[in-house]
Amino acid sequence: MLLLTGFEPFGGAVTNPSRDIVLALDGTTAAGHRIAGAVLPCVFGAARRELARLLRQHRPTVVVCLGVAEGRAGISPERVAINLEDARIADNAGAQPRDRPVVRGGPAAYWSTLPVKAMVAALERERIPAAVSHTAGTFVCNHVFYALMHAVRRRRVRAGFIHVPAAVAPQGSPVPVLPLATQIRGIALALNEAARRRRDLRRAGGSEH
């Protein structure tokens, strides 16, 4: 079983490509793993609790969480989650934590256990823009990424987070976009690598931020 999550729209947006990708891929397969898709609330705490419920319900062997990062030009698997909440904007419940840990007493960071370089290589072969990222930010995306890695730290579960770019830019906005159909195809390729590979490639990796 492969658990795939995305987020509801936030920050005044009416859509979120991470949600749309999850809805498109729910019920399909990746390297023999059935994909169970779910949409998380963009709310500190509530997102973490819903993720914990999904982990109990599905008992997946692979977990990939998605989120949108406007301003990025390609799909970016995240390499590290940090134990910090420091919100530039309020979440969908109006909360805006500052300088607060995701897990009190938890380690400073967790590494993704997904084959991030292999996923990027698979996307590059199909000419889909992609790069490894070394920062998941400090908003709800990182909150979920860190909470995920903390939850599975003693389990044999490959897990991590992928940021996707905007699929549609507001009128007049210079934000780079990647069509939703291309994003769906790219995430399907990335999930196939995540499901079939236990070890990552050893190669120099491109980096977002």
Domain ranges of the chain: 2-208
Would you give per-residue pLDDT tens digits along the chain (209 residues)? 999 999 999 998 889 999 999 999 999 999 999 999 999 999 999 999 999 999 999 999 999 999 999 999 999 999 999 999 999 999 999 999 999 999 999 999 999 999 999 999 999 999 999 999 999 999 999 999 999 999 999 999 999 999 999 998 776 678 899 999 999 999 999 999 999 998 899 876 555 55
Q: Which residues are designated catalytic?
A: 78, 141, 163
Q: Does domain 2-208 have CATH number 3.20.10.10?
A: no
pTM for the model stands at 0.95
Question: For the segment 139-152, what is each residue's pLDDT rounded down to a tens digit?
Answer: 999 999 999 999 99
Q: H or E segment at 142? A: helix 140-151
What residues contact 145, with CB distance under 8 A and at least 6 apart?
65, 78, 81, 112, 136, 160, 161
Q: Report how far residue 114's alpha carbon sits from residue 118's, in angstroms, rounded to the nearest whole number.
A: 9
